[in-house]
Structure 1
């Protein structure tokens, strides 16, 4: 008679779980120290940044003059108060007929504050300062970058007027005409549109291209045929 009793399943041989190597005290303690030091460093930097912000704001509101702006630019880079100091210093340099210094300050503002809402205005002022300082090539490059920038730069119409003005000074009226026609076709609604139209109207008429096909000249009309008067038969 066959044995009908069920055979008990073998018990699996479960090994005791081993701790990962990094869970031992020799690894965890230095890791905790490093993590704690990192958190402390972040908190210290945050506290230092807040302190610098408060000091720079207090300095700006206490006395707004050339000395204060210079100190902010020198000792508090990147702070909101320093952005104002850069713009004020650039405006002062423009008033003192030092466009090269103004261009440098506007450039520093654009580099230090790439997300600032006044960055487009600062770049336009920088291009104007470069043009006034005689750096026409650099100014034209900056004007052109503003015109072609995407999304559209709010000062692109003013940049087109500035670029066209420099092109006219270089005796390149047709290049200026193209720039002005393009910006007027966009109809940006800018306050510089009247300046663009006035500058375009001052340009001499475009020359007639020698390669343009001439209008066809109609052939001369044929002379009328002479009719002979027939003699009546006699």
Structure 2
């Protein structure tokens, strides 16, 4: 059998090919190593950047809460943080905190812009619902009732069945009361207080419903009469 010479010839051919392409292989392997190392370095640096940003954001919040007279950091502090740590998850959280701070400072137009910017920049964030509610609250604070109502109703629809929807319904009911629409407010209070599952808004809605009915007794539904004379039951013939 002559398999050995055939194998030897194949080995020689491979060695010849290897010699010809040796430099190309070296470059290829080296390039793969460089790319792999570059990717590892990028991911490592990104993780470090995220850690540094998160630590700094926590430091900002802790410094304010541990002060002799605890206060929330102003919106400007969070805005500066966002610029410094752009592209990090911490910057995402800082934008929502900046919007909330601006609202607390009664800078409602600024708060609205920040909440809207958050929705635009982070549409898949789990906090986007809170940002949407913030837009409605900012519009309400600016007395833009029609626009606020539309935003609130959109939140109720998009986040149906969540605690956020309950919070938003309470806000809508409050606006209806302020607009002298007690029937609309009552409807929302009843939806929240008569639900099969208890939520953080159930008891509040029930209390507001009672207060509304006390203020507007005409809204109390008339109950069916229960004092009608009972039907006389005649005794059968004695045996």
TM-score (ref. length: structure 1): 0.58
* Residue number in structure 2 paired with 1:102: 111
**1:162 offset after TM fit, Å?**
0.7
Q: Name the counterpart of 1:80.
A: 89
Query: Quick check: 1:90–1:105 contact (8 Å CA) kept in 2?
Result: yes
Q: 2:122 aligned to 112, 124, 140, which one? A: 112
- In structure 1, the partner of 2:147 is 138
Residue in 2 that maps onto 1:52: 49
Q: 1:189 to 1:99 in 2, by over 3 A?
A: farther
Superposed CA offset, 1:159-214 (max 9, x none):
11111121233333333333332233324422322332333331532499xxxxxx
CA shift for structure 1 position 131 = 1.2
Change (3 A) 1:88 1:123: same
CA contact (8 A) 1:107 1:126 kept: yes
Using the alignment, how far apart are the partners of 2:160 and 2:177 within structure 1? 28
In structure 2, distance between residues paired with 1:115 and 1:145? 17
Aligned to 1:155: 164
Structure 2 unmatched ranges of 5 or more: 1-20, 22-27, 62-72, 222-239
Distance 1:78 1:186 in 2: 42
Partner secondary structure for residue 163 of structure 2: coil
Contact in 2 for aligned 1:164/1:177 (Cα 8 Å): yes
Name the residue aligned to 2:193. 184
Higher CA-based Rg? 1
Q: Which runs of 5+ in 1 are unaligned?
A: 1-24, 26-30, 209-234
- State how far apart, in whole Å, the 1-side matches of 2:147 and 2:46 are: 36
> 3-state SS of the aligned residue for 1:54?
helix
Deviation at 1:62, TM superposition (A): 5.0
Aligned to 1:168: 177
Q: What SS class does the counterpart of residue 155 from structure 1 fall into?
A: helix
- How big is the shift at 1:152? 1.9
Shift in Å at residue 45 of structure 1? 5.1
Provide TM-score, normalisation by structure 2.
0.57
Relative distance call for 1:189 and 1:129 in structure 2 (3 A) is farther
C-alpha RMSD over aligned residues:
4.0
Distance of aligned partners of 1:125 and 1:195 in 2 relative to their CA distance in 1, 3 Å threshold: farther
SS in 2 for 1:143: helix
